[in-house]
A and B are shown apart, each in its own frame.
Chain A
Amino acid sequence: MRATSARRVLPGFGLSLGFTLAYLSLVVLIPLAAVFLKSATLSLSAFWDIVSSPRVVATYRLSFGASLLAAAINVVFGLLLAWALVRYSFPFKRLIDALVDLPFALPTAVAGISLTAIYAKNGLLGQFLEPLGIKIAFTPRGILIALIFIGLPFIVRTVQPVIEDLETEFEEAAACLGATRWQTIVRVVLPALLPALLTGFALAFARAVGEYGSVIFIAGNLPMISEITPLIIITKLEQYDYAGATAVASVMLIVSFLLLLLINALQAWTRRSARKG
């Protein structure tokens, strides 16, 4: 042990790894294990009946679908926002920069209530949208809006530092070598930003899947239409059905974990191919 640690350039490997494992177990692994243990009290067929009932399956579709879509929308507009904040200077830039973080700080219930107030048919925006036949509050669209709201800072804050490090010289060089603007963006700028964008996407997605507070106010919560998976879990808990709640929760955890793993793999792959290119 001593011999190996002596060979490392950085000291304290054993200590920091031990601390990492202990901390991760305490904060993440033990609570998650409890979820799986509790759901293991169900027989396999009972477990399957709960997690595959049509009403619950409809919530997976909505929760994962809306979360992926919201994260995707945020990737596009979050990138634009981050780009504008880094590359241009304009009045109140600092203020706008600070505004981006607000969805982090705002209690989610407050966000949900204000979004509902704005998009309801007598609300600030709803009164104009509803006559056009666009209903947002109390429909799945409302859920999407809420998830976009809470996910935005994740994209902006992960991409922003990378854009800051991106030298404008690269773009100038590309232009000098005859690249069009579009080619510069696709071949030079985006590949450099892709890993950060994927990280932001993963964070925004993960946050959206678990989101309860803000969505619940704007969703309408109709079975088969606008119920999200966290609501099903809460509903089961309120009926003292711990096992059923943890069964649905464990499905959610597994799917989220697989999706995040996939995003991480994609990210590693883009990094490698960027290095090769």
Chain B
Amino acid sequence: MGLRRLLALSAVAAAYGVAALTAAGAVKAQTSILNVSYDVSRELYKDVNAAFVPHWKSTSGETIVINQSHGGSSRQALSVIGGLEADVVTMNQSPDVDILVERGGLVAKDWRSHFPHGATPYSTFSVFLVRKANPKQIKNWNDLTRSGLQVIVPNPKTSGNGRYTYLAAWGYALKTQGSEAKAREFVTSLFANVPVLDGGGRGASTTFTQRDVGDVLVTFENEAVALQKEFGSDKFEIVYPSISIDASAPLAVVDKVVDKRGTRKQATAYLEFLFSPTGQEIIARHHFRPRDPAVLARYAERFPKVETFTVEAFLGGWPKVQKEHFADGAIYDQIAVKR
């Protein structure tokens, strides 16, 4: 290739790049809000947005565009701290909203009281997905510690899903065996059975379903149902443990951003819509457990009753859990290094 042609080509490429970058910036002119959310809520919010846009048009007469951004929950929070202009955040664990209060005061301190149910429109919890006919007879958390079994869990250090699994196992042991020392032994032998630690929930699903690794996948109920639907119930079965951890999905309006962009009204209405019967219906359709009792009753056969405990009530709250279990050098690190 001649030098001249090369130069011309790179000039075209550069011009194209600049055009693409500025075009991305220009979209903002319309009334739009950005929902920054976690990894596996993509499908849910696609449906929610499709329902909210006509709803908002009929109530306010305004045409609105909802943009979505998805990724690992904590990484998304980091982006918002770093300047991603999210009007609302919809995460899968409350530390990822609390951090927005701590760093830069992006969200009001009392965000939990701004919406019903502690600002969590739905919850889910950790369940087991096993291979067809449950060949290893996995029924409850204590089965996961049997030697020779392979348990697939996403990395608790990088994934909210993995963190909930760890805490569910910890809580189960605490409830059934009574002491923290026993609980520690329990999670140690459980995590000694983990052959792969994927970065996030979807990665773990792929490892279990496509790579054929492991006897059981521990993941959120909605993810387990989605996997079973995709691959067929003749391949995988869902097992509900006797007890699990309540994983309520928190959301908040990002005050600093909506005040700057003048979108508080729209952002608040968008989040309130999730608590409305229509929103709750969409949530239930995606196999997240809705808060509205009427909707829950309608989908009762989808949601077997399972006893759950919360991080706040049973484990002393997220800051404590974070410090004692997941901080560098804390219990999770200690048991992980010992394997």
Contacts and interface: CB of A to CB of B under 8 A. Distances in A.
Real complex partners, A and B?
yes
Interface of A: 50, 53-55, 113, 116-117, 120-123, 137-138, 216-217, 220-224, 234-241, 244
Interface stretch (B15-23, B249-257, B329-337): B329-337
B182 interface: no
Contact of B157 (A123, A238, A244): A238
B328 interface: yes
Interface in B200-226: 203, 206-207, 210-213
A54 B337 contact: yes
B124 interface: no
B211 A241 contact: no
Nearest to B322: A239
B211 A116 contact: yes
Contacts of B206: 113
Interface of B: 72, 74-75, 78, 99, 103, 155, 157-158, 194-199, 203, 206-207, 210-213, 326-329, 333, 336-337, 339
A117 B210 contact: yes
Interface of B is mostly: loop
A55 B212 contact: no
B337 A120 contact: no
B315 to A, nearest CB: 18
Contacts of A238: 72, 74-75, 78, 157-158
A123 B207 CA distance: 12
19 contacts: A53-B329, A55-B336, A117-B210, A120-B213, A121-B211, A123-B211, A137-B211, A221-B196, A221-B198, A221-B199, A222-B194, A222-B195, A222-B196, A224-B336, A224-B339, A234-B158, A235-B155, A238-B74, A238-B75
A122 B197 contact: no
Smallest CB-CB A-B distances: 8 pairs: A120-B211, A223-B336, A122-B212, A238-B74, A221-B197, A235-B157, A220-B196, A138-B196
Max chain A C-beta neighbours (<10 A), residue from B75, B207, B326 = B207
Contacts of A116: 211
Nearest to A127: B212
Contact of B158 (A55, A122, A235): A235
A138 B197 CA distance: 9
A116 B204 CA distance: 13
B328 A50 contact: yes
Contacts of A50: 328
A129 B72 CA distance: 33
A138 B333 CA distance: 20
Contacts of B78: 237-238, 240
Max chain B C-beta neighbours (<10 A), residue from A137, A217, A223 = A223
